[in-house]
Amino acid sequence: MPTTLKATTYNNYIDGAWAPSASGETFENRNPANTDDLIGVFQKSTRQDVEAALAAAARAYETWRLVPAPRRAELLFKAAQLIVERKDQFARDMTREMGKVLNETGGDVQEAIDMTFYMAGEGRRMFGQTVPSELRNKFAMSMRQPLGVCSIITPWNFPMAIPSWKIIPALVCGNAVVFKPASQTPLSAVNFVKVLEDAGIPRGVVNMVTGDGDEVGTPLTSHEAVRVVSFTGSTHVGRIVNKAAAPGFKKVHLEMGGKNVIMIMDDADLELAVDGCLWGGFGTTGQRCTAASRVVVHEKVYRRFVEAFVDRAKSLVVGDGLDPKTQMGPSNSESQLQTVMKYVEIGKGEGATLATGGHRLEKGAYARGFFHEPTVFADVDPGMRIAREEIFGPVVSVMSCRSLDEAIAIGNGVEYGLSASIYTQDINRAFTAMRDLYTGIFYVNAPTIGAEVHLPFGGTKNTGNGHREAGVAALDVFSEWKSVYVDFSGRLQRAQIDLEEI
């Protein structure tokens, strides 16, 4: 399915075939930097499409689970190599459909490459345990086993990286998947699935349906064939997913919102801290669950930091992500831009100081896109809504503190617990903050973004439900433990009862 500048109609992928939706309906995908740019036409799927995909996955699972894991891994290694070959085109496609600048979309694709290579390596590991039995002539061990059909529901902000975090570990463990990408970024999903097809993944093992609504979402989260639901998105929708899956006792993996904090102490390298806050707050136009939307600065350096940070934010070049001069792209959609604008008004109404930005950009080159100025609020009270609620846009709230303890209290004082950071030259402060911030990820002298694929990714509180993506931890989402006992004594031995004298 070639990618061209001409609008193309793209199909669902079910049971090894690219086919239109049973509804006969489609939807358009347009460039958020220039809505005149029609990227493609995609299928508006129905429950019938989803059920066909689930049935195909259930059939394919019965043979895929029996393929030795090292053989499954060989296909995934091939997929990773294909992504490497197609990286530049995939990055350009992604920038056109979701807006972030080209070096960031290249990083998104690179993360899919890294994850696929990493997880393919688990095909020769997936270690269990061998342990001594308490009885003679008895062997005890554990092993991972796949679960079955996995529903994969992903957002638009990392449209190739996040699917790779879910689909690749699911496959290496021996599961089959039905993948529903965000409707704002279906082309990146098509590109990813086409790679898996070209790598030789058997028919039915990977299926993809595009579209939104109850007709798609309900069967993906509640159908009896589904054993795992892996969802990344808002906390509000995550609750709905969790409730829908609960009656069937499905394993549910949720990655949801964030309101992440950077703490800057009075001994910090301020220039480095400004660099980190700029990247953490405005990278991907602030549209990351790990974005550094809160900055807490020690009162001794507060004014110096705010002045430098505001000056740098004002200098950011906003525009089309395909332009090499652009440093920050558009919001992903009109609705996302409206959310940003709403929170700017909330911040002004709460009495925060609008230090820079605060306006939609809509003249000249911005007229056909969803652009907003990089925005900094200063003198923010930790209780304000702009300091507590996820905005998912280029808005950063700066607060002051008198001590490390106060900074930690502010950092922990929100419903989310994904990522946090401290800038300091004091190792004691760094380790104290590392211990006391209740988050799933923590950085020292770096912003709240930048996770790598070989460590667990995920959050606490209303950010997640205890599972993790990436690293070996991802295998726990897509496999179950089986303990195995082999008694070669030739007689009945009763554990905890027939214990011999030493």
Catalytic residues: 255, 289
Backbone phi and psi for residue 353, each to the nearest 5 degrees, phi listed first: -85, 120
Question: 3-state DSSP call for residue 1?
Answer: coil
Q: What is the DSSP letter of 319?
A: S
Of 175, 148, 186, nearest to 67 by C-alpha is 175
CB neighbour burial string for 122-161, b if at least 16 within 10 angstroms, e if fewer: bbeebeeeeeeeebeeeebeeebebbbbbbbbbbbbbbbb
| β pairing state of 395-401 and 294-298 | parallel
**Residue with tokens 């829908």, as numbered in its chain:** 244
Side-chain-side CA neighbours of 357 within 13 Å: the count stands at 31
Distances in Å between the Cα of 173 and the Cα atoms of 70, 80, 357 are: 10, 17, 47
Q: Helices then strands (H, E): number in the chain?
A: 13, 24
Question: 3-state DSSP call for residue 487?
Answer: strand
Question: 3-state DSSP call for residue 423?
Answer: strand
Angle at 135 between CA 129 and CA 139, to 5 degrees: 35
Task: Pull the structure tokens for residue 291.
Answer: 């974005």
Element (H, E) at 395: strand 395-401
Are 359 and 373 a contacting pair, CB within 8 Å?
yes
Are 29 and 40 a contacting pair, CB within 8 Å?
yes
Are 354 and 348 a contacting pair, CB within 8 Å?
yes
**Residue with tokens 């997929």, as numbered in its chain:** 79
Angle at 165 between CA 162 and CA 169, to 5 degrees: 155
Give the type of residue at 111.
E
Q: Please enumerate in sequence order all residues whose Cβ is within 8 A of that of 62, keeping only pairs 6 or more positions apart, or say none.
A: none
Give the type of residue at 294.
R
Task: Pull the structure tokens for residue 100.
Answer: 């972030």
| β pairing state of 441-444 and 419-423 | parallel
CA distance 411 to 434: 12
